[in-house]
Amino acid sequence: MKTFLCTGLGSHTSFSSLEAVRGSAIRRTRWAGILGVALSLAPLAAFSQDAKRGEQLYMMNCAACHQPTGTGIPAVYPPLAGSPMTAGGSKRAVAIVLNGLQGPITVNGAQYNGPMQPWKAILSDDKIASILTYVRQAWGNKGTPVTPEQVKAARAEYAQRTSPLSEADLTAIADEDIKP
Ligand code: HEC
Protein backbone atom coordinates (compact mmCIF):
# COMPACT_ATOMS: atom_id res chain seq x y z
CA MET A 1 0.00 0.00 0.00
CA LYS A 2 2.76 2.38 0.97
CA THR A 3 4.61 1.91 -2.31
CA PHE A 4 1.52 2.44 -4.37
CA LEU A 5 0.55 5.60 -2.54
CA CYS A 6 4.03 7.01 -2.88
CA THR A 7 3.97 6.33 -6.61
CA GLY A 8 0.55 7.93 -6.86
CA LEU A 9 1.61 11.02 -4.99
CA GLY A 10 4.88 11.19 -6.90
CA SER A 11 3.07 11.17 -10.21
CA HIS A 12 0.66 13.74 -8.93
CA THR A 13 3.47 16.03 -7.90
CA SER A 14 5.22 15.78 -11.23
CA PHE A 15 1.92 16.35 -12.97
CA SER A 16 1.36 19.50 -10.94
CA SER A 17 4.48 21.03 -12.44
CA LEU A 18 3.44 19.84 -15.89
CA GLU A 19 0.05 21.34 -15.37
CA ALA A 20 1.54 24.69 -14.55
CA VAL A 21 2.90 24.68 -18.09
CA ARG A 22 -0.03 23.18 -19.95
CA GLY A 23 -3.03 23.67 -17.70
CA SER A 24 -4.74 20.45 -18.72
CA ALA A 25 -7.93 19.95 -16.72
CA ILE A 26 -8.56 16.54 -18.29
CA ARG A 27 -5.32 15.14 -17.03
CA ARG A 28 -5.94 16.57 -13.62
CA THR A 29 -9.22 14.70 -13.41
CA ARG A 30 -7.51 11.50 -14.46
CA TRP A 31 -4.80 11.78 -11.82
CA ALA A 32 -7.33 12.72 -9.18
CA GLY A 33 -9.20 9.55 -10.15
CA ILE A 34 -6.13 7.38 -9.82
CA LEU A 35 -5.30 8.97 -6.49
CA GLY A 36 -8.88 8.42 -5.38
CA VAL A 37 -8.67 4.74 -6.24
CA ALA A 38 -5.37 4.48 -4.37
CA LEU A 39 -6.87 6.08 -1.28
CA SER A 40 -10.04 4.00 -1.42
CA LEU A 41 -7.90 0.84 -1.57
CA ALA A 42 -6.17 1.86 1.66
CA PRO A 43 -8.48 -0.15 3.96
CA LEU A 44 -7.97 -3.34 1.94
CA ALA A 45 -4.87 -4.27 3.91
CA ALA A 46 -5.67 -7.99 3.57
CA PHE A 47 -4.58 -7.98 -0.06
CA SER A 48 -1.79 -5.48 0.10
CA GLN A 49 -0.17 -3.60 -2.73
CA ASP A 50 2.85 -5.83 -2.27
CA ALA A 51 0.74 -8.82 -3.19
CA LYS A 52 -0.56 -6.95 -6.24
CA ARG A 53 2.99 -6.39 -7.41
CA GLY A 54 3.69 -10.01 -6.57
CA GLU A 55 0.83 -11.07 -8.81
CA GLN A 56 2.29 -9.18 -11.76
CA LEU A 57 5.74 -10.66 -11.16
CA TYR A 58 4.20 -14.11 -10.79
CA MET A 59 2.44 -13.75 -14.14
CA MET A 60 5.73 -12.73 -15.78
CA ASN A 61 8.04 -15.32 -14.22
CA CYS A 62 6.10 -18.32 -12.96
CA ALA A 63 2.64 -18.60 -14.53
CA ALA A 64 3.87 -20.17 -17.78
CA CYS A 65 4.50 -23.38 -15.85
CA HIS A 66 2.49 -23.13 -12.64
CA GLN A 67 -0.45 -21.50 -14.50
CA PRO A 68 -2.19 -18.20 -13.71
CA THR A 69 -4.41 -19.84 -11.10
CA GLY A 70 -1.58 -21.83 -9.50
CA THR A 71 -2.95 -25.22 -10.54
CA GLY A 72 0.17 -26.34 -12.39
CA ILE A 73 -0.19 -29.00 -15.10
CA PRO A 74 -0.88 -32.58 -14.00
CA ALA A 75 2.26 -34.76 -13.96
CA VAL A 76 4.39 -31.94 -15.40
CA TYR A 77 4.30 -28.79 -13.27
CA PRO A 78 3.22 -29.08 -9.64
CA PRO A 79 0.47 -26.84 -8.23
CA LEU A 80 1.30 -23.91 -5.99
CA ALA A 81 -2.34 -23.61 -4.94
CA GLY A 82 -2.87 -25.91 -1.97
CA SER A 83 0.78 -27.02 -1.94
CA PRO A 84 2.33 -27.36 1.52
CA MET A 85 5.75 -26.53 0.04
CA THR A 86 4.44 -23.21 -1.22
CA ALA A 87 2.17 -22.20 1.64
CA GLY A 88 3.76 -23.97 4.63
CA GLY A 89 6.80 -22.61 6.47
CA SER A 90 8.43 -19.87 4.40
CA LYS A 91 11.90 -21.42 4.89
CA ARG A 92 11.06 -24.12 2.35
CA ALA A 93 9.30 -21.91 -0.19
CA VAL A 94 12.13 -19.35 -0.20
CA ALA A 95 14.78 -22.10 -0.44
CA ILE A 96 13.00 -23.62 -3.45
CA VAL A 97 12.76 -20.37 -5.36
CA LEU A 98 16.37 -19.33 -4.62
CA ASN A 99 17.99 -22.69 -5.42
CA GLY A 100 15.57 -24.39 -7.78
CA LEU A 101 14.25 -27.92 -7.33
CA GLN A 102 15.11 -31.20 -9.00
CA GLY A 103 12.62 -34.09 -9.00
CA PRO A 104 11.33 -36.59 -8.18
CA ILE A 105 9.03 -34.86 -5.70
CA THR A 106 5.54 -35.60 -4.46
CA VAL A 107 3.02 -32.79 -4.06
CA ASN A 108 -0.37 -33.71 -2.59
CA GLY A 109 0.11 -37.36 -3.52
CA ALA A 110 1.09 -36.73 -7.15
CA GLN A 111 4.63 -37.23 -8.47
CA TYR A 112 6.59 -34.70 -10.50
CA ASN A 113 10.02 -35.19 -11.93
CA GLY A 114 11.13 -32.05 -13.64
CA PRO A 115 13.80 -29.50 -12.95
CA MET A 116 12.97 -26.02 -11.76
CA GLN A 117 15.78 -23.56 -12.34
CA PRO A 118 17.26 -21.50 -9.49
CA TRP A 119 16.02 -17.92 -9.43
CA LYS A 120 18.70 -16.38 -7.22
CA ALA A 121 20.65 -14.87 -10.11
CA ILE A 122 17.50 -13.59 -11.80
CA LEU A 123 15.18 -12.18 -9.14
CA SER A 124 16.07 -9.68 -6.38
CA ASP A 125 15.20 -10.24 -2.70
CA ASP A 126 12.43 -7.75 -3.15
CA LYS A 127 10.89 -9.51 -6.16
CA ILE A 128 11.09 -12.97 -4.60
CA ALA A 129 9.44 -11.57 -1.46
CA SER A 130 6.60 -10.02 -3.47
CA ILE A 131 6.03 -13.16 -5.56
CA LEU A 132 6.01 -15.46 -2.55
CA THR A 133 3.81 -13.13 -0.52
CA TYR A 134 1.36 -13.33 -3.41
CA VAL A 135 1.43 -17.09 -4.04
CA ARG A 136 1.36 -17.90 -0.31
CA GLN A 137 -1.91 -15.98 0.04
CA ALA A 138 -3.57 -16.48 -3.34
CA TRP A 139 -6.01 -19.23 -4.38
CA GLY A 140 -7.00 -20.10 -0.81
CA ASN A 141 -3.38 -20.48 0.40
CA LYS A 142 -2.89 -19.33 3.97
CA GLY A 143 0.87 -18.74 4.19
CA THR A 144 2.51 -15.81 5.96
CA PRO A 145 3.90 -12.88 3.95
CA VAL A 146 7.61 -12.95 3.05
CA THR A 147 9.80 -9.86 3.51
CA PRO A 148 12.87 -8.88 1.44
CA GLU A 149 14.94 -9.13 4.64
CA GLN A 150 13.90 -12.76 5.07
CA VAL A 151 14.88 -13.56 1.49
CA LYS A 152 18.18 -11.76 2.05
CA ALA A 153 18.92 -13.90 5.10
CA ALA A 154 18.10 -17.11 3.20
CA ARG A 155 20.18 -15.96 0.23
CA ALA A 156 23.20 -15.55 2.53
CA GLU A 157 22.59 -19.01 3.97
CA TYR A 158 22.61 -20.57 0.47
CA ALA A 159 25.38 -18.37 -0.95
CA GLN A 160 27.66 -21.38 -1.55
CA ARG A 161 25.00 -23.66 -2.97
CA THR A 162 25.07 -24.21 -6.73
CA SER A 163 22.88 -27.32 -7.17
CA PRO A 164 19.09 -27.39 -7.03
CA LEU A 165 17.38 -28.86 -3.96
CA SER A 166 16.18 -32.45 -3.95
CA GLU A 167 13.13 -33.66 -2.06
CA ALA A 168 15.47 -34.98 0.68
CA ASP A 169 17.12 -31.52 0.98
CA LEU A 170 13.70 -30.02 1.27
CA THR A 171 12.40 -32.28 4.02
CA ALA A 172 15.63 -31.60 5.95
CA ILE A 173 14.61 -27.92 6.12
CA ALA A 174 12.37 -27.19 9.12
CA ASP A 175 8.79 -26.53 8.04
CA GLU A 176 8.68 -23.11 9.71
CA ASP A 177 8.78 -19.45 8.79
CA ILE A 178 12.07 -17.59 8.45
CA LYS A 179 12.61 -15.49 11.57
CA PRO A 180 11.56 -11.90 10.91
C1 HEC B 1 9.86 -23.61 -16.70
C2 HEC B 1 8.82 -24.02 -15.77
C3 HEC B 1 8.79 -23.39 -14.40
C4 HEC B 1 8.80 -22.06 -14.06
C5 HEC B 1 8.85 -20.85 -15.01
C6 HEC B 1 8.69 -22.00 -12.62
N7 HEC B 1 8.63 -23.24 -12.09
FE8 HEC B 1 8.37 -23.75 -10.13
N9 HEC B 1 8.53 -25.70 -10.60
C10 HEC B 1 8.69 -26.22 -11.86
C11 HEC B 1 8.85 -27.66 -11.78
C12 HEC B 1 9.05 -28.61 -12.94
C13 HEC B 1 8.78 -27.98 -10.42
C14 HEC B 1 8.92 -29.37 -9.80
C15 HEC B 1 10.39 -29.74 -9.73
C16 HEC B 1 10.60 -31.17 -9.35
O17 HEC B 1 10.00 -32.04 -9.99
O18 HEC B 1 11.37 -31.40 -8.41
C19 HEC B 1 8.56 -26.72 -9.69
C20 HEC B 1 8.38 -26.62 -8.32
C21 HEC B 1 8.08 -25.47 -7.64
C22 HEC B 1 7.76 -25.40 -6.23
C23 HEC B 1 7.67 -26.55 -5.24
C24 HEC B 1 6.54 -27.46 -5.53
C25 HEC B 1 5.17 -26.98 -5.14
O26 HEC B 1 4.22 -27.45 -5.77
O27 HEC B 1 5.00 -26.17 -4.21
C28 HEC B 1 7.56 -24.08 -5.94
C29 HEC B 1 7.21 -23.48 -4.59
C30 HEC B 1 7.76 -23.35 -7.17
N31 HEC B 1 8.07 -24.21 -8.17
C32 HEC B 1 7.64 -21.98 -7.27
C33 HEC B 1 7.89 -21.25 -8.43
C34 HEC B 1 7.90 -19.82 -8.52
C35 HEC B 1 7.60 -18.86 -7.38
C36 HEC B 1 8.21 -19.50 -9.82
C37 HEC B 1 8.42 -18.11 -10.40
C38 HEC B 1 9.47 -17.32 -9.79
C39 HEC B 1 8.38 -20.73 -10.55
N40 HEC B 1 8.18 -21.79 -9.67
C41 HEC B 1 8.66 -20.82 -11.90
C42 HEC B 1 8.69 -25.51 -13.04
C43 HEC B 1 8.70 -24.13 -13.13
pLDDT at 41: 46
Residues 6+ apart with CB under 8 A from 116: 65, 96, 100, 101, 102, 164
Residue 58 Cα: closest atom of ligand 1? 37
pTM of the model: 0.79
Q: How far is the CA of 66 from the centre of ligand 1 (A)?
A: 7
Span 4-32, average pLDDT: 42
Same-domain check for residues 27 and 79: no
Mutate to test the pocket of ligand 1, among 65, 71, 120 (most ligand atoms within 8 A of CB): 65
In a domain, residue 119? The reply is: yes
Give me the number of domains the chain comprises.
Answer: 2
Asked if residue 68 and residue 7 are part of one domain, the reply reads no
Q: Is residue 178 part of a domain?
A: no
User: Where in the sequence is the domain holding 114, given as residue range(s)?
Assistant: 49-172
Whole-number Å distance, alpha carbon 13 to ligand 1 midpoint, is 41
User: Quick one: what percent of the chain has pLDDT higher than 70?
Assistant: 72
Within the chain, what is the greatest distance between any pair of CA atoms? 64
